[in-house]
Structure 1
Amino acid sequence: MNKQTWALEAEAMRGGLRHLLGLVLRCASLMVALFATTMPLMAQAQNAIQAVSGSVQGGTEVIRIDLAEPLASVPTGFTIQAPARIALDFPGVSNSVGRSAVDLNLGNLRSANVVQVGERTRVVLNLKTPTAYKAEIKGKSLLIILAPVAVASPSVAAASVFAESRNRDILPLKDIDFRRGDDSTGRIVVGLANNEVGVDIHQQGKTLVVEFLKTALPEGLRRRLDVADFGTPVQTV
């Protein structure tokens, strides 16, 4: 074999190595890009509610919600007067409790519902009497501290009965509006006659039902709004 043949074969080998190296680099770049894309999704999906429990600490009722990872911030929540409930929303968190209902039967606390809808989980605390609360993060847990329920004096009890008798009247809803929230979420805003109107929120299958107790819908609000152009999951109101 002459020198020219050796030179041609060496050049061919170098060309093959360069081609192979290029393929390796392209594959490595693709893997890095794929890893960078999937890591945030994995981090978001890995957090989950693992347990819900209750205890009495120093005469105060405390609900403990254990998660797989620490929360970045305290979840938003709201209270309902009738029936007495506290609801908290956990975006990007799944339900790993294994069931949707947890019996607690602790003082003012009856039970808890853990309901996952898509990438969001809602925890509803079912109470015997409406009360305020505060929430704080402790490690991988969220602590819900219930305010003590005050024992009503006779004068307060009489005022409560009077307020109840007034609420027996049917109160009209004032307004129904739709707004586009952050991250393309849809918000349906309902104007109530006063802050004493009872609101019942419960789930029926895959549907979330909101009932406004002892209220009426005026003729001017009996309309169907097409909100599909807002780019949210809500299509009509």
Structure 2
Amino acid sequence: MNMSAPVCRGNLGQWLGQLATLCWVLAIGLLPSAVQAQEALRLESIDVQSLPGQQVELRLRLNGAAPEPMAFTIDDPARISLDLPNTTLALDSRRQDANVGPLTTVLAAEANGRTRVVMNLSSMVPYQTRVEGNSVYVLIGLAPGESAGPAFAAQQSQSAPSAARSTPAASGDRSIRNIDFRRGADGAGQIVVDLNDPRTTVDVREEGGRIVVDFQNTTLPQELMRRLDVTDFATPVFTVDALRANRDARLVVTAAADYDQVAYQSDNQFTLELKPAVQQAAVTPGLFDEDREYTGQRFTMNFQDIETRAVLQLIADMSGLNIVVSDTVQGSVTLRLLNVPWDQALDIVMTTKGLDMRRNGNVVIVAPAEEIAAREQAELEALQALQTLEPLRSEFIQVNYAKASELANLVRGEGNSLLTERGTVAIDERTNTLLVNDTPTSLANIRRLVTTLDIPVRQVLIESRVVIVNDDYSRELGVRFGTTSVNDNSGNGLIGLTGTGAGAGSLVGSPALGGAGGSILPVPAPPAGSRYNVNLPVTSPAGSIALAILGNDYL
């Protein structure tokens, strides 16, 4: 017992020391993750500042060093999207109404460890992004004196060295790895592009009824330069053409006339989705139609011979609308309405008094229907007069695949001409070019027509080979080769080698062998043709060989 106690105390102390060491190691291992959790990036504020001209600058303020944003644009509706990787959202409000220059609203959302900031625009304009410290700056619009280029694409500012270093320097660093097409559950066509760099700038726009997607400074492998015919998928997409355009990779999507378009990017995968357009009801329900629905607040009115303008004022107070009543609205009305929505009461009063209204935002203009119709007619006439006075412009439109004369006939079409009364179109047959002189609006319509129709037609390649044969042509080729040899047969005659049997007989009957009689044999030798035991020669042989062995008593 006295000996076991020290042993137990020693083992316990050693075990406690190992446990303390293990806890220390675990604490050190968990320390970086705790520090990393504390240093997680958060988007804390978005500041909007108006600049001279029509420029707007946004500042996205984070709690740490700002990452390089991934940007892409959409033309319809016009919007710019920025993705901030490894960033959470810490804004008080996810929506911010700006209404400054081309910028209307700013939306923010968070998903899968990243934050997306969407800037909705009234129209697509160029923009630039730069990273400085803990802020990402987005400059939207053109500076005074600048002119917009033909395409609105994302531009990286060169003023931020960190951003310039993180962007690939050469176009070969960015490429498209794969292009795929899928059909969604709701009949949507999805064009999925696999990129090797998530920072690739993507520009989506619509030209001539087709959707053009440009991947800037991106190479397209030769095996991906092809056309995808996806008509059998029963989606709004018909064909997808992948091609190269200068230093960019381009997709040209041909689709149906009506579709809803949306484009988004997730890491290295860019998706363009076209959904069938939702058909809207073409007929608006009338005042007394049972299907018409009213959503206004209900109220009660009971008046005898009250002025129409006073009733409209009561409806304005109830609805909160700004109603402007024309001076020509006169007369009175008697009404008794119990628990009726205010929008239904407004329709009843206007129908009863022959009034009409036009709404612009939160302002409603009420006037007699004839006055509103006359005002709109005057506006149309003024617009037509303005088109008559609008200056003319000239433009040369190059036709690549079709005939310029045929397109000119379509432009001049009888009863459906794209030219104004002052417009003209000429043709240069040598260069296959259209020379158009008309208003800018008409030129845009003609340019859209040429872009849509001037496309290559599918062709079939037929290869043929012509061989000319003459039946009076012949060629002969022959060769003659032989050897003649005579050797002594070991003192017992001789051995001779030549080409034919006649030649061998000539050797045997040589005077040099037979002396004066001309033969070495004791009896006359039979002719050469009678010496064969088997005589089955071929006609016109290609060659022959004869061997003669001469002894004292045999040949």
> TM class by shorter-chain length?
0.5 to 0.7
Matched, 1:117 2:159: no
Match of 2:130 among 133, 136, 149: 136
1:211-230 correspondence runs (5 A) = 211-212=273-274
Deviates more, 1:25-34 or 1:102-111: 25-34
**1:193 aligned residue:** 253
Match of 2:14, SS state, is helix
Cα deviation, residue 132, structure 1:
1.6
Q: Distance in 2 between matches of 1:38 and 1:64?
A: 29
Change (3 A) 1:54 1:102: same
Q: Distance in 2 between matches of 1:137 and 1:97?
A: 20
Query: 1:61 corresponds to which letter in structure 2?
Result: V
Change (3 A) 1:50 1:76: same
Q: Distance in 2 between matches of 1:142 and 1:165?
A: 32
Match of 1:22 among 18, 21, 34: 18
Q: Distance in 1 between matches of 2:260 and 2:28?
A: 53
Q: Distance in 1 between matches of 2:9 and 2:139?
A: 72
Query: 1:119 corresponds to which letter in structure 2?
Result: G
TM-score (norm 1): 0.60
Query: 2:85 corresponds to which letter in structure 1?
Result: P
1:32-181 correspondence runs (5 A) = 32-37=28-33, 39-40=35-36, 42=37, 46-59=40-53, 60-72=55-67, 74-148=68-142, 166-167=208-209, 172-174=238-240
Question: What CA deviation, in whole Å up to 9, does each residue of 1:174-207 have, x standing for no partner?
Answer: 179xxxxxxxxxxxxx94338xx994358xxxxx
**1:161 aligned residue:** none
Match of 1:131, SS state, is coil
Match of 1:52, SS state, is strand
**1:231 aligned residue:** none
Q: Given that residues 102 and 141 in structure 2 are in contact (C-alpha distance below 8 angstroms), is that contact kept between their aligned partners in structure 1? A: no
Match of 1:25, SS state, is helix
Aligned-pair Cα RMSD in Å: 3.9
In the comparison of the two structures, how many residue pairs are matched? 177
Percentage of identical aligned residues: 21
Question: What CA deviation, in whole Å up to 9, does each residue of 1:39-90 have, x standing for no partner?
Answer: 44x167x211111121123443101111121214x21101111111111111
Question: What CA deviation, in whole Å up to 9, does each residue of 1:121-142 have, x standing for no partner?
Answer: 1111101111121111122211
Unaligned runs of 5+ in 1: 157-163, 177-189, 203-208, 216-237
Unaligned runs of 5+ in 2: 151-205, 212-235, 243-249, 265-270, 278-555
Q: Given that residues 172 and 192 in structure 1 are in contact (C-alpha distance below 8 angstroms), is that contact kept between their aligned partners in structure 2? A: no
Change (3 A) 1:81 1:150: farther
Change (3 A) 1:173 1:52: farther
Matched, 1:12 2:8: yes
Q: Distance in 1 between matches of 2:106 and 2:56?
A: 14
Query: 1:144 corresponds to which letter in structure 2?
Result: V
Q: Given that residues 171 and 214 in structure 1 are in contact (C-alpha distance below 8 angstroms), is that contact kept between their aligned partners in structure 2? A: no
Change (3 A) 1:56 1:8: same
Q: Which has the higher contact order (CA 8 A, sep 6+)?
A: 1
Q: Given that residues 66 and 132 in structure 2 are in contact (C-alpha distance below 8 angstroms), is that contact kept between their aligned partners in structure 1? A: no
Question: What CA deviation, in whole Å up to 9, does each residue of 1:102-128 have, x standing for no partner?
Answer: 111111100111011121211111011
Match of 2:253, SS state, is coil
Change (3 A) 1:214 1:71: same
Deviates more, 1:50-59 or 1:87-96: 50-59
